Amino acid sequence: MLSRERAELIKGEIRNNLSKFEKQVLELYDEGFSYARIGEILGKSAKAIDNAIQRIRNKISKNY
């Protein structure tokens, strides 16, 4: 129970450190969409999505 609560707190903290675009990308990525499909949905290239995922990973690794 506590580890689930802690995980939710960490997820909230992570989301607070992301830009609006990064949050959108993360939500769609968590739902299992491919980079190409996320790009189609958000009107961006797959490379822009890849870059956003890399920024998200960097923020997570620096803070957690």
- Of the pLDDT bands very low, low, confident and very high (cuts 50, 70, 90), residue 5 is confident
Angstrom distance (rounded) from CA 10 to CA 38: 24
- pLDDT, residue 61, reads 85
pLDDT by residue (tens digit) across 8-60? Answer: 887 888 888 899 999 999 999 999 999 999 999 999 999 999 999 999 999 88
- Of the pLDDT bands very low, low, confident and very high (cuts 50, 70, 90), residue 1 is low
Asked whether the beta carbons of 22 and 52 are under 8 A apart, the reply is yes
Q: Which of 55 and 1 is assigned the larger pLDDT? A: 55
Q: Is the pTM above the cut of 0.85?
A: no
